């Protein structure tokens, strides 16, 4: 049997699954990094989670914060964005902890391919839920700093580091007559 690769935020919940519904465990966690997608990472993760035993498995209520390294949408330089993540998810058991037999997925919810599962060795991997919710918390247009000037649309220079190289003399000939009107001085 091939071993599954788990995130660093994996917990063995076999003892909790042996207890009555309503039983709880609380965990504080820190992690240096969690890969999100395409070169983005959630770093310096700190958070807390409460695991509650349910009829179906374990209900996880978690909060976490961290810093995402991404790209600024204005100047295309690296940007660090602080995010806070809060989520609550039901993790379903796949194997009965007492007998070791497989648990059928014929619950009231029906088959749900997106459900979070507790694996056959009773490990609950909270990393995948944290990854999904962190991606949802990412800003649509991340910035390296709020006052980022971005790139010049004409010459492409980073306006945060140097002045624009575009020539003011470059005027479209079609608008020369209008420019001449603007350049005229009003009569005194």
Express each pLDDT in 54-90 by its tens digit: 999 999 999 999 999 889 999 999 999 999 999 999 9
The tens digit of pLDDT for each residue in 121-130 reads 999 999 999 9
What pLDDT is recorded for position 86? 97
pLDDT band at 166 (very low <50, low <70, confident <90, very high): confident
Which of 73, 89, 90 is CA-nearest to residue 81?
Answer: 73
User: Is-contact 80 67, C-beta < 8 A?
Assistant: yes
H-state helical runs in the chain: 14-17, 127-137, 176-183
At residue 68, what are phi and psi to the nearest 5 degrees?
-100, 130
The tens digit of pLDDT for each residue in 10-58 reads 999 999 999 999 999 999 999 999 988 877 889 999 999 999 999 999 9
User: Is-contact 47 6, C-beta < 8 A?
Assistant: no
pLDDT band at 171 (very low <50, low <70, confident <90, very high): low
Give the pair of three-digit tokens for residue 133: 């919710």
Torsion-angle region of 100 (φ positive above 0: left; ψ -120 to 50: alpha; else: beta) = left
Mean pLDDT for the chain?
86
126 or 1, which is more confident? 126
C-alpha span between 11 and 130 (Å, rounded): 14
User: Is-contact 57 17, C-beta < 8 A?
Assistant: yes
C-alpha span between 150 and 157 (Å, rounded): 9
- Is pLDDT of 108 > 70? no
Q: Per mean pLDDT, which range of 38-42, 73-77, 138-142, 184-188 is the poorest?
A: 184-188
- Is pLDDT of 169 > 60? no
C-alpha span between 157 and 159 (Å, rounded): 6
Give the pair of three-digit tokens for residue 3: 């071993």
What pLDDT is recorded for position 74? 92
What pLDDT is recorded for position 2? 46
Domains of the chain, by residue range, sit at: 10-137, 152-188
């Amino acid at each position: 049997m091939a071993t599954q690769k788990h995130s660093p935020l994996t917990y063995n919940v076999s003892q909790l699954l042996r207890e009555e519904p309503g039983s709880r465990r609380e965990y504080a966690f820190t992690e240096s990094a969690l890969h999100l997608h395409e070169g983005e990472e959630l770093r310096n993760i700190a958070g807390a989670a409460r695991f509650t035993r349910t009829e179906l498995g374990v209900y996880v209520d978690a909060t976490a914060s961290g810093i995402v390294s991404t790209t600024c949408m204005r100047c295309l330089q690296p940007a660090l964005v602080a995010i806070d993540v809060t989520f609550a998810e039901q993790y379903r058991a796949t194997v009965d902890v007492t007998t070791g037999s497989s648990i059928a997925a014929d619950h009231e919810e029906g088959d749900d391919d997106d459900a979070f599962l507790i694996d056959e060795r009773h490990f609950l991997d909270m990393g995948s839920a944290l990854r999904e919710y962190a991606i949802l918390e990412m800003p649509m247009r991340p910035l390296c700093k709020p006052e980022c000037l971005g790139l010049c649309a004409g010459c492409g220079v980073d306006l945060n580091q140097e002045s624009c190289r575009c020539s003011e003399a470059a005027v479209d000939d079609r608008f020369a007559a209008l420019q001449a009107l603007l350049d005229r001085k009003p009569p005194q």
